[in-house]
């Protein structure tokens, strides 16, 4: 089945690398015009060029989603120069581990600000236009950590649980306006963020990098890390008209690690 998104306009946060980059390119391949946001404008422009090479429009706007003023200005900036957003992909995220005893308050707040409050702000900014046009797709990139607990990840796990609660509530409230809201819950994905996790394991345990990577791969029954392109493929499906009946779901993408 070929999914066609031509005529739709998408916004991807955290689009400068990893999962966000893969999502932006996949949406472009399906024909959508793509707006990209992240904090680093030079990295964003590189991805925007790759999006344009696929024959669609792209715009890159630097934005820190922890700054309410920057987020609130995004819809106006985009509508003036690019058009209203049909598909919002909240991918920007933050992850750092720490044992609970002695957990720094600032680390807790950072996770909530980026992963949960940032997602809330983006939804709040772009949902009104979708309601007015009676069509929209909101796709939140969460984590299997949003469904289960994990040692040394109190802040990250709590923030991703919050994303799932927000997803389900918005799905109910926005359904009458022909808007769907879903989350994708990947396991460990082969990105620079996971590479940092591997380095942390090496530093704290004395294991080799290969052994540390094997620990994360072993959490997946398929004995591997998820590829960013796999997450992107699910985003494209959820963004399509074919998926209009999928709403309020938290879709695992982890090789069977969590069956819930």
Residues with catalytic function:
156
Q: How far is C-alpha 26 from the geometric centre of its chain's CA atoms?
A: 14
Residues 56, 225: Cα–Cα separation, whole Å: 30
Q: What is the DSSP string of 194-231?
A: HHHHHHHHHHHH---HHHHHHHHHHTSTTSSPBPHHHH
Q: Residues for the chain: how many in total? A: 260
Cβ atoms of 208 and 243 within 8 Å: the answer is no
Element (H, E) at 47: helix 41-52
- Count CA atoms closer than 13 A to 249's CA, side-chain side: 15
CA distance 198 to 13: 24
Residue 135 has which token pair? 């069509």
């Amino acid at each position: 089945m070929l999914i066609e998104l031509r005529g739709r306009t998408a916004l991807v946060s955290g689009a400068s690398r990893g999962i966000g980059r893969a999502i932006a390119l996949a949406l472009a391949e399906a024909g959508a015009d793509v707006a990209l946001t992240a904090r680093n404008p030079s990295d964003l422009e590189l991805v925007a060029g790759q999006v344009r090479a696929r024959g669609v429009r792209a715009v890159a706007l630097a934005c820190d989603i922890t700054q309410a003023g920057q987020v609130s200005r995004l819809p106006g900036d985009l509508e003036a120069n690019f058009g209203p957003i049909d598909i919002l992909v909240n991918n920007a995220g933050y992850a750092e581990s720490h044992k609970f005893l002695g957990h720094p308050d600032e680390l807790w707040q950072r996770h909530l600000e980026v992963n949960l409050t940032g997602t809330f702000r983006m939804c709040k900014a772009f949902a009104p236009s979708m309601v007015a046009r009676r069509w929209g797709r909101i796709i939140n990139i969460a984590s299997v950590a949003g469904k289960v607990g994990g040692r040394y990840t109190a802040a990250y796990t709590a923030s991703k649980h919050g994303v799932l609660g927000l997803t389900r509530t918005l799905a109910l409230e926005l359904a009458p306006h022909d808007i769907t809201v879903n989350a994708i819950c990947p396991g460990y994905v082969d990105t620079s963020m996971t590479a940092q996790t591997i380095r942390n394991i090496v530093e704290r345990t004395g294991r080799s990098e290969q052994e540390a990577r094997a620990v994360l791969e072993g959490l997946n029954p398929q004995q591997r890390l998820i590829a960013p392109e796999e997450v992107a493929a699910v985003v494209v499906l959820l963004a399509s008209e074919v998926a209009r009946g999928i709403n309020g779901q938290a879709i695992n993408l982890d090789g069977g690690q969590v069956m819930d």
